[in-house]
Amino acid sequence: MYDYVIVGAGSAGCVLANRLSEDPDVSVLLLEAGGPDTNDLVHVPAAFPALYRTAQDWDHSTIYEPYANDRRIYLPRGKVLGGSSSINAMVYIRGNRLDYDGWGLEGWRYDDLLPYFKRAEDNERGPDEHHGVGGPLPVGESRSRNPLSQRFLDAVASRGLPMNPDFNAGEQDGFGWYQLTQRRGARASTAVAYLHRVADRTNLTVETHVHALKLLFEGTRAVGVRGTRLGEMLDFSAEREVIVSCGTYNSPQLLMLSGLGRPEELEPLQIEVVAEVPQIGVGLQDHPNTGVVYAIDEEISLFGALNDENLLLFESEGRGPLTSNIAEVGGFARTRGGLDAPDVQFHFVPGRFQSEGLMPGEGHGFSLGVCLVTPKSRGGVMLGSPDPTAKPLIVHNYLEHEDDVASLVSGLRMCLEICSTEPLGELVSGVVQGPASDSDDDLLTYARQYLMTLYHPVGTCRMGDDDGAVVDRELRVRGVEGVRVVDASVMPSVPRGNTNAPTIALAERAADLIRGRTPLRPQGADAESAPAETAAATAAGGARSGAAGPVSPA
């Protein structure tokens, strides 16, 4: 019997496990289907594609993509302590304030979340109005600065595009080095940043290799979780709440397996309906990505970097090419006038990134990917089987919307232009993967054929004030008691940028909501302009400053 049972030890789940167990009077159980993060490759930044389709990966895919030549598109997701933060590319990006303000949800605007981004953060650049220090999540400069990455930035500059030294300080447009979630050159997953450091708390239990099969209900109240480990059936009781943090594909699956969803879909699968929550699984959104790959003769790319010499350098000094997160530099741009914020993001790779990252490139080269950060196309996650170990059915509908097509085609053209610009273009010795020409038709044909995910799915357990939303503003699932969803799936739309930091900030705020603590104040808020909950707290003398720096546990 635990007070809280958290299902899923990913980006959100590890934050929750840490924050909820700060209170010594509550007991917390964290369940994870994957194993501990003991595979050395988890901690070597440049090795993340080597984890694809291994035991650390759920290895999802779309069943087909109707607007991408009916292809099955590979969708990696971390199945290990740290979840997808243990296999991701470590880029630290928050998105644009318009994204959060656009959700239109009190308490979740950018200004509301900024104190949580800062509370999480330990930024090696030091504190300022945008950044925090002393938080659990180390954020720092890339220690591997491949010369190709610098050439990319020089090519961008020669095209007159702006540089941006900090994508998380208000202005998003421009190009530069990405800051990374890393400590001393190694990956800082949320398991590393939030979980391992509190492993000695007696009120926190972590169970790995437990695949949650369903939530247990008494009437419409959740009382626990049923899971399985090596074929053994295990029931875990939750006195206060069950918190589902299984990620955008698995959270809706677990809720549907538990009898929440659309009766007309659950009943044929002989799943007893606990509550009708029609929009579970609906509204899936992601950043579709495409790009170009070139060969070069100079032996300066990451090709062959995973060798003993570099491993030694990585282990002894936290330096060298293996500290590269692969997507070292990039930036944001607007593909046309009249946009109020960027619609595309670029990731430059000093190596050949092809075949959705599943096949290592043969030979030296570089790649430039462009992803659409304002997708209008939406898909969904459905149950294909009542068997909890079967994969959910996923369709993204990438490129269904004509605006998505227009932005991605323009972004792909920008890729061609940048890669042919000096001092990058002069290195190219051949095209490994690229469109036939820069005509709209050829670019679109190519984009549909080489489209891949940029790994940022959200939206399948949408938060909202409307009756159709899956969870309310406190992330409680509608129609039942004692269940919350806390992970990327609750985001009503995908932020413009990589989604790890947003998920962590969201979980930081959720932890305060679950603990019944007064949410941190928006920066500079005064009693008059603050939201009602904050104003009340201020009056009671209970609100804390959102200023930079660590916030000590209550």
The span from the CA of 304 to the CA of 364, in Å, is: 9
Q: How far is the CB of 77 from ligand FAD (least distance, A)?
A: 5
| CA atoms within a 13 Å half-sphere pointing along the CA-CB vector of 369 | 27
Interface with ligand FAD, residue 90, by CB under 6 A: yes
Q: Which residues are designated catalytic?
A: 456
Residue 292 exposed, middle or buried by CB count within 10 Å (0-12, 13-18, 19+): buried
Instruction: Out of 84, 96, 182, 377, point to the residue binding ligand FAD (CB under 6 A).
Output: 84
Instruction: Out of 19, 32, 115, 135, point to the residue binding ligand FAD (CB under 6 A).
Output: 32
Interface with ligand FAD, residue 211, by CB under 6 A: yes
The span from the CA of 138 to the CA of 504, in Å, is: 12
> Restricting to residues 251-270, which ones interact with ligand FAD according to CB under 6 A?
254
Query: Considering beta carbons, is residue 11 or 324 the nearer one to ligand FAD?
Result: 11
Instruction: Out of 16, 30, 33, 372, point to the residue binding ligand FAD (CB under 6 A).
Output: 33
Instruction: Out of 121, 356, 404, 487, point to the residue binding ligand FAD (CB under 6 A).
Output: 487
**Strand residues in 285-415 grouped as ranges (E):** 288-296, 329-333, 344-349, 353-354, 359-360, 365-372, 379-382, 393-395
Instruction: Out of 6, 16, 41, 87, point to the residue binding ligand FAD (CB under 6 A).
Output: 87
Instruction: Out of 118, 119, 352, 456, point to the residue binding ligand FAD (CB under 6 A).
Output: 456
Measured distance between the N- and C-terminal CA atoms of the chain, rounded to whole angstroms: 24
Q: How far is the CB of 369 from ligand FAD (least distance, A)?
A: 12
> Restricting to residues 212-231, which ones interact with ligand FAD according to CB under 6 A?
212
The span from the CA of 212 to the CA of 214, in Å, is: 6
Q: How far is the CB of 201 from ligand FAD (least distance, A)?
A: 20
Query: Considering beta carbons, is residue 435 or 497 the nearer one to ligand FAD?
Result: 497
Instruction: Out of 4, 10, 284, 393, point to the residue binding ligand FAD (CB under 6 A).
Output: 10
Interface with ligand FAD, residue 356, by CB under 6 A: no
Residue 467 exposed, middle or buried by CB count within 10 Å (0-12, 13-18, 19+): exposed
C-alpha separations of 25 from 43, 201, 230, 318 in Å: 33, 11, 32, 39
Q: How many residues bind ligand FAD (CB under 6 A)?
A: 40
**Stretch near ligand FAD under the rule CB under 6 A, chosen from 59-67, 162-170, 500-508, 510-518:** 500-508
Interface with ligand FAD, residue 76, by CB under 6 A: yes
Question: In a 3-state reduction of DSSP, which class is residue 395?
Answer: strand
Question: In a 3-state reduction of DSSP, which class is residue 522?
Answer: coil
Q: How far is the CB of 87 from ligand FAD (least distance, A)?
A: 5
Q: How far is the CB of 227 from ligand FAD (least distance, A)?
A: 6
Interface with ligand FAD, residue 31, by CB under 6 A: yes
Residue nearest to ligand FAD (CB): 10
Does residue 53 contact residue 232 with C-beta atoms inside 8 Å? no
Does residue 270 contact residue 256 with C-beta atoms inside 8 Å? no
Residue closest to 116 by CA, chosen among 87, 136, 88, 91:
136
Instruction: Out of 224, 247, 321, 546, point to the residue binding ligand FAD (CB under 6 A).
Output: 247
Start-end of H helices in 370-430 = 402-419
Start-end of H helices in 267-371 = 308-317
CA quadruple 77, 80, 85, 87: dihedral positive or negative? negative
Peptide bond into 423 cis (omega under 30): yes
**Stretch near ligand FAD under the rule CB under 6 A, chosen from 96-104, 115-123, 245-253, 403-411:** 245-253
Query: Considering beta carbons, is residue 343 or 487 the nearer one to ligand FAD?
Result: 487
Q: How far is the CB of 182 from ligand FAD (least distance, A)?
A: 11
Phi/psi class of residue 507: alpha, beta or left (left: φ > 0; alpha: ψ in -120 to 50)? alpha
Interface with ligand FAD, residue 79, by CB under 6 A: yes
Interface with ligand FAD, residue 11, by CB under 6 A: yes
Residues that bind ligand FAD (CB under 6 A): 7-13, 31-34, 76-79, 83-85, 87-91, 93, 211-212, 245-247, 250, 254, 455-456, 487-488, 498-501, 503
